[in-house]
Amino acid sequence: MESAIKSLSIVVPVYDEEGSLDSLHAEITAAMGALPRLRHEIIFVDDGSADHSAEICRGLHAKDPEHVRVIIFRRNFGQTAAMAAGFDAATGDVIVPMDADLQNDPMDIARLLEKLEAGFDVVSGWRQNRQDGLFSRRMPSILANGLVSWITGVPLHDYGCTLKAYRREVAKHINFYGELHRFLPALASWSGAMVAEIPVNHRSRRSGASKYGIGRTVRVVLDLITVKFLMSYSTKPMQVFGTWGAFSLLIGFMAGLVTVFDKIVYGLSVNRNGWALVCLLFLLTGMQFISMGLLGEISVRTYYESQKKPIYTIRETIGGA
């Protein structure tokens, strides 16, 4: 059983949410009032807002300096960067990211922590009764979550829900790149974390505008490819590139045999035989794949050895000094 949770860091990425920040702070304060045993901090990360969000965050710190911390970016770097900054600054035993638009309910934090204390390392929120448009948001989300669950092997109903709870010792092993914040449970699972999911409340947006659109779909798919590679082949790139390389070389070799057969049996000139082009194309492609695999292996070894970064994470050590 994991040790008792004593402190909590709530990370709130902020981008043009001036209309909701005061209410959000009040709701989080009320939710934490129901958990008096926990020390808590609220880390607002302003991601280059163009409105008065940064000034409001400064005001919240002035009003509640004991609990509110503020990080202000020089410009807009994106939600992943904002979450990374909040995670890096967090001091709590558990880190809980949540949206600033009031669609997440701070009262659900207690339920996330309760599930976490049951022995899990990551608890993900599931917006079971999502208050968004059916065709513009909910249907694409269902399809996307099914695809992500299938490819990563970590079945969750709602990867897109920001409201989650991470044990800090698990979160510190996760590196943030691109827009990978939505795949953090899968990346945590890859490092050996136990992941659970619970339904959470989801409310209609009260102010501001959604920052998500259909244009993000392409980026999600590209990030998913990155996550799959990181989870399956980040320490063994030759296995993926080498496999495709060997397959291409085999096709090229077989096409070469057909070319020779046509030349011997039918007297067909090589420069008039389409199989010769197939042979050349796949032989070159196969060699390129294998070369990429070798370069990947060199890069991986340079990365791990130069940083003395382990290729494993340990949950617990029993005995010994």
The owner of tokens 């409001």 is 56
Asked whether 303 and 295 are in contact (CB, 8 A), the reply is no
Alpha helices in the chain (DSSP H): 21-33, 53-63, 79-89, 109-116, 139-152, 168-171, 184-190, 216-233, 237-266, 274-307
Nearest to 124 by CA among 99, 82, 156, 102: 156
Return the CATH architecture of domain 7-233.
Alpha-Beta Complex (3.90)
Residue 321 pLDDT: 45
Q: For residue range 178-213, list pLDDT tens digits in order.
A: 667 888 898 888 888 999 999 999 888 776 566 555
The owner of tokens 């065709």 is 135
**C-alpha–C-alpha distance, residues 139 and 162, integer Å:** 18
**C-alpha–C-alpha distance, residues 164 and 162, integer Å:** 6
Asked whether 167 and 118 are in contact (CB, 8 A), the reply is no
Following CA atoms 78, 308, 121, 176 in sequence, which dihedral angle do they give, to the nearest 10 degrees?
Answer: 10
**C-alpha–C-alpha distance, residues 161 and 27, integer Å:** 19
Residue 210 pLDDT: 62
The overall longest dimension of the chain from CA atoms, in Å, is 90
Q: Which residues, 6 or more positions from 303, have their beta carbon under 8 angstroms from its beta carbon?
A: 309
**C-alpha–C-alpha distance, residues 268 and 248, integer Å:** 24
Asked whether 63 and 32 are in contact (CB, 8 A), the reply is no
pLDDT mean values, one per 10 residues, the chain (321 residues): 79 95 97 93 94 94 94 90 90 96 95 94 91 68 84 89 94 74 86 92 74 61 75 76 92 95 90 91 94 85 67 49 45
Q: For residue range 210-253, list pLDDT tens digits in order.
A: 655 555 666 677 777 777 777 777 767 888 888 899 999 999 99
CB-CB neighbours of 49 under 10 Å:
20
Phi, psi (deg, nearest 5) at residue 124 = -105, 140
What single letter denotes the amino acid at residue 120?
F
**C-alpha–C-alpha distance, residues 181 and 176, integer Å:** 7
pTM surpassing 0.85? no
